[in-house]
Chains A and B, each alone.
Chain A
Amino acid sequence: MSANVLSNRDTNAQMKSASPQKKADKPEPKSLDAHRQELASRLKENETTQQYVSPSDSIQSPATQKLSAFRNKQISKKSKPQTLFKTTSSKKIESAKGTAMFADLPKTIQITKNGEANTEPYQQSLKDEIAQLERRLQDAKSRLKVADNPATSLQSTSDAALHALLLLADSALPLGSFAFSSGLESYLAHHKPSPPSASQLPSFHVFLSLSLSTLASTALPYVLAGYRNPADIETLDNDLDASTPCTVARRASIAQGRALLTVWERSYKAQYSSTAAKISGDDSSPTQGSAAAEALVSFSSALRKSDLINAHLAPLWGLVTCVLDVPLRDAAYLFLFSHARTVVSAAVRASVMGPYQAQAELASMELQDRIRGLVEEGWNRKVEDSGQSVPVMDLWVGRHEKLYSRIFNS
């Protein structure tokens, strides 16, 4: 039964994309015959085998044909997934591979277009499918071999990275971030809506984009540098401290940085420093992760001795994500996302919006695009070139101290 439901759905979905075919057909009525033939054969096939495939699936305009051929090429290419949830997404593709997907169908069309198999297009497509399936089987087998050896397995390392990422994505982190609104409270106090009952949502949106822009231009370079050059952590910490012009922002950054360091020491260290040591022992050359772990240890011991060290959040975030072996791009993305989440959650508590709307804000494509774009923009920015891109932000944050009533620390 479910097969029937699915086939109905498929038909609808495909019919849409196939509609331009009529136009494309006009100059070439000859091909209509071929399609009709094919349609009949596919129909028969469908009755007997109850496949999900609809007969009209294979009718495609030349443009769609090309597009799906390209798509097919992209999917069958063994690409290295770059996304956050690479394992799940690759699994999805894997499991879907058995069924007849859009990717399989264009093959038949390509052949009909060539004209050589005009009489038996479907047979040819079946042959093709078999060949493809065989290739996939081989592929899967070879991957199974790799997965049998866990030390070098790509799967397990990416799982570990995902696990670390999920740890860091906890809404409790950065610890104590709930106490900071990153200037939102002060901003709202400086922008009272003209009738006091009017919604503050539009001005919140402006603030969120400005706040992310500021964070990306001031702190993000330090995240990237902390990840890339773990040994420079003390210099980075000093430079970020020198670049933070107001006490309020400084207080917030240091409090969260120290909290992160404490979380590392009390919760992650036991697990992750041993793994880092193990990996480096295998390779007989120190990996970046173990170098970062060493830098982290010496930094936290230096923090106790020296007054010049502050432990700001951004470089430590880079360092800790490096030790946990999270890919840098994900670490940077998460850094900005955590900030957005902190600001949005502050907005909920400042009664700008409700919790459902807050989730919608975080889920929005706009936010995704913005964060991705900011990571892209800042990817090669040096720490020396970090700076304030929204000068009024310094004033809002700095004047937080002058608020009559406060519910946040920044």
Chain B
Amino acid sequence: MSFTSPFAASTAKAGYGSIKLSILPPDKPVLRDVSYQYPLKLVAPDPLPPPEERTNSHAPRLVHTVFLLTYGGGIVAGDAINLSVSLEDRTRLVLLTQGSTKIFKTPDPSLVSRQHMEVELAASAALVYLPDPVQPFAQTAFSQSQIYHVEGEKSSLCACDWVTSGRSARGENWNIHEYKSRNEVWTSDQSGKKRLLLRDNLILDKHGRTGLQLSERMDGYSVFGTLILRGPAFSSLAQYFMDEFEALPRIGGRDWGDSAPLEPSPHEQRRVQRQTREKRAGLVWSAANVRGFTLIKFASREVEGSRNFLRDMIADEGSIVACFGERALLCLK
């Protein structure tokens, strides 16, 4: 191979990691740097050519995948993970996890585990970050932040951030001390002044003066998530979400049977089937176009409900699979 060993440790700080994806002229994307320190571990399998390569001459020849792992499959109290990712122009990266990120019990609520990810997206770069959900166990304190810096309108981003109520099999239902998750997208103008494009900050803690337990505040849902879509690589997927949201049956409306076409198209049949599954799983979702982003918020009674919803929608639409390969949906299987 023409690139240096990805295992050369350039960072010495515990929990630090770095991923750099660049283009080797003329057009070969390579992982220039994959370094990490305990307790973080990065695994980069061989890149695969995207299925669409033959049809689209602009697509990069290879799509890289990196798995974010932690020793022990989770984050122990007091751990701090700090990952920086940078994608050069015309590169594509898929970031995944292997199984849900477990957050382990903390001896003291003030001891907060942290995970921080800083992503630089050059123009025309595209990132798919579809991890498994974060699973904070009872009595945990966790705070994570994903900060994306995009360049212009053409940087594409598909990032999912979802969290579950804990080990439901053990009766855990949001028995956490604290959970914070922050997603921010920034850009800078010509003068170098930073501007916030999007902030999605979830704060679950004891504040709020509601007089309610955290589990009551959640209205019976045990999974909450946000999917952020932006840029040309995901515009068709974003449009698909918006269309499907528009096609949701009205809440409180009655079906008199006169609006249904006599012979539903295969697409409409799939839609009806999916909506039936969503209803059974107690899944609710909403989609909105905000400031050049499409934000999808979803919640369900069980993890599988949300997982199936995401997989159905993304696979039905098909553009992610076409541009990034089947691997991109590994965490939703």
* Chain A residues engaging chain B, CB cutoff 8 angstroms: 186, 189-190, 206, 209-210, 212-213, 216-217, 238-239, 241-248, 250, 369-370, 373-374, 377, 385-392, 394-395, 398-399, 401-405
Contacts and interface: CB of A to CB of B under 8 A. Distances in A.
A217 B217 CA distance: 14
B209 A247 contact: no
A402 B252 CA distance: 9
B288 A398 contact: yes
A247 B290 contact: yes
B310 to A, nearest CB: 15
A395 B283 CA distance: 11
A245 B288 contact: yes
Interface in B197-227: 197-205, 207-212, 216-219, 221, 224, 226
Most buried by B among A209, A212, A250: A209
A387 B251 contact: no
Contacts of A370: 209
Interface stretch (B10-18, B80-88, B291-299, B315-323): B291-299
B203 A209 contact: no
Given A212-B209, A242-B291, 15 more contacts: A189-B252, A206-B212, A216-B208, A242-B197, A245-B288, A245-B297, A250-B290, A387-B182, A389-B207, A389-B208, A398-B288, A399-B284, A402-B248, A402-B251, A404-B251
Nearest to A372: B209
Interface in B171-208: 180, 182, 195-205, 207-208
A292 B210 CA distance: 33
A405 B288 contact: no
B140 to A, nearest CB: 17
A369 B198 CA distance: 33
Given A190-B251, A377-B207, A391-B299, A245 B290 contact: yes
For chain B, what secondary structure do more than half of its interface residues adopt (helix, strand, loop), or is it mixed?
strand
Contacts of B115: none
Contacts of B290: 244-247, 250
A391 B202 contact: yes
Contacts of A217: 203, 207-208
A351 B299 CA distance: 28
Q: Quick one: which of A209, A244, A392 has the most chain B CB within 10 A?
A: A392
17 contacts: A186-B251, A189-B252, A190-B251, A213-B208, A217-B207, A239-B199, A243-B200, A243-B201, A245-B297, A377-B208, A377-B209, A387-B180, A388-B203, A389-B217, A395-B286, A399-B286, A403-B252
Contacts of B216: 206
Contact of B251 (A189, A238, A246, A385): A189
Contacts of A374: 208-209
Given A190-B251, A213-B208, A217-B208, A388 B202 contact: yes
Contacts of B276: none
A242 B288 contact: no
Contacts of B180: 387
B240 interface: no
B90 to A, nearest CB: 27
Contact of B196 (A242, A246, A389, A399): A242
A373 B251 contact: no
B182 A404 contact: no
List the 5 shortest-distance A-B pairs measured between CB atoms, nearest first.
Answer: A387-B201, A398-B286, A404-B253, A213-B208, A404-B250
